[in-house]
Amino acid sequence: MALSMTGYGRGKAVLNGRDLTVEIRSVNSRYFEYSSRLPRACLFLDDRLKKLLSGTISRGKVELSLQLQTIGVSDVEVQADLPLARSYLEALRQISEGCGVACDAAAGMLARFPDVLSVRHAQVDEEQLAADVETVCRMALDSFMTMRTAEGAKLEADILSRLDTLEQDVALVEQDSAGRVEAYTQRLYARLQPLLEDRSIDEARILTEAAIFADKTAVDEETVRLRSHIQQYRQILTGAGAVGRKLDFLTQELNRETNTIGSKCQDLAITRLVVEMKAEIEKIREQVQNIE
């Protein structure tokens, strides 16, 4: 089944006193490209999250964002160095006595002196945090894959419809090319008769010219290969795993065979069919660019 490279998924949960939100979004890219936006406390998880996503996503420019908020208990502790504060206060008293001024030191003033207050982050259980983030990330990934699958189904249906149209055009090319040699032979007779007037026309020469024309303009091989490529397209689309690169290659082959038919056949009806086929192949190519 085809998967779209475009998708969005979101996971959210409260685990072990943390409100966690993970968002995953992706756009088209030839390869797997990963970027993330993580809180400073979770930067150590970046490689782990990249590995988790790359195990499911093979192509696309993927961005993961994580939001974390602690609930109930703060993960920051503020500590006061009381011996240092007392030292500052004693120094202020000495200044007051020595200068004959009032000692009006308050707690707020002491707190502004260097190193009286210090901020420390509480000890974090990194393994527990990693497990919680991974749980929410998997929720986002499931939502993300659901959207990609739904979009991929639409792309697959459109491509299959265009393959049916392309196959019908191939049948018309085969039908029109079948009578082309006979028509060419008749045109040769019609052109030679006025020139030769009452002289006889060399039947062997006419047949030789017709054979040369048939050899130069035969498109049987091209139409057979086109039918084979179309059948392969259908098989790949309904198969498992990433199929985008295989379809890229087959699209080039479809285009190559159609161009060869166009260069061989100067028939107006077939030329029109070739134009229609190339238009369908181009639309298929545009859809394939969205498939993983």
Q: What is the pLDDT of residues 208-221, one digit of tens each?
A: 654 455 445 567 78
Q: Is the pLDDT of residue 111 over 70?
A: yes
Q: How far apart are CA 228 and CA 232, in angstroms?
A: 6
Per the CB < 8 A criterion, the answer to whether 164 and 284 are in contact is no
The residue whose two tokens read 């072990």 is 16
Residue closest to 185 by CA, chosen among 158, 205, 165, 171: 205
Q: How far is CA 110 from CA 82, 88, 92, 155, in A?
A: 10, 7, 10, 68
Which sign, positive or negative, has the C-alpha torsion 198, 199, 203, 207? negative
Structure token digits, residue 11:
């996971």
At position 139, the amino acid (one-letter code) is M
Torsion (CA) 235, 160, 286, 220 in degrees, nearest 10: 70
Q: Which of 11-20, 172-181, 195-204 has the lowest mean pLDDT?
A: 195-204
First to last CA, the chain: 10
Query: What is the rounded CA–CA span in Å between residue 49 and residue 32?
Result: 14
DSSP H stretches of helix in the chain: 46-54, 82-99, 107-111, 126-178, 180-196, 203-217, 220-237, 244-264, 268-288
User: Confidence class of residue 28 from pLDDT cuts 50, 70 and 90?
Assistant: very high
Dihedral over alpha carbons 252, 257, 260, 261 (to 10 degrees): -140
pLDDT of residue 246: 92
pLDDT of residue 205 exceeding 70: no
What is the model's pLDDT at position 113?
86
Whose tokens are 């039908």? That residue is 175
- H/E stretch holding 63 reads strand 60-70
Mean pLDDT of 252-269: 86
Q: What is the enclosing helix (H) or strand (E) of 33? A: strand 32-37
Q: Which of 8-22, 116-130, 153-167, 191-205 has the lowest mean pLDDT?
A: 191-205
Average pLDDT over residues 202-230: 68
pLDDT > 70: what percent of the chain?
83
pLDDT at 75 > cutoff 70? no
Residue 60 DSSP SS3: strand
What is the distance between the alpha carbons of residues 119 and 105, in angstroms, rounded to a whole number?
23
Which domains, from first to last, does the chain contain?
7-72+127-147 (3.30.230.40), 76-121 (no CATH), 152-288 (no CATH)
Q: Give the rounded percent of residues in the chain with a pLDDT score beyond 90.
A: 51
The two tokens of residue 234 are 């259908």
- Give the C-alpha separation, 213 to 183, whole Å: 11
Residue 128 has phi, psi (to 5 degrees) of -70, -45
| Distance (Å, whole) CA 161 – CA 169 | 13
User: What does the pLDDT look like over 30-43, one tens digit per residue?
Assistant: 899 999 999 988 99
Mean pLDDT for the chain overall = 84
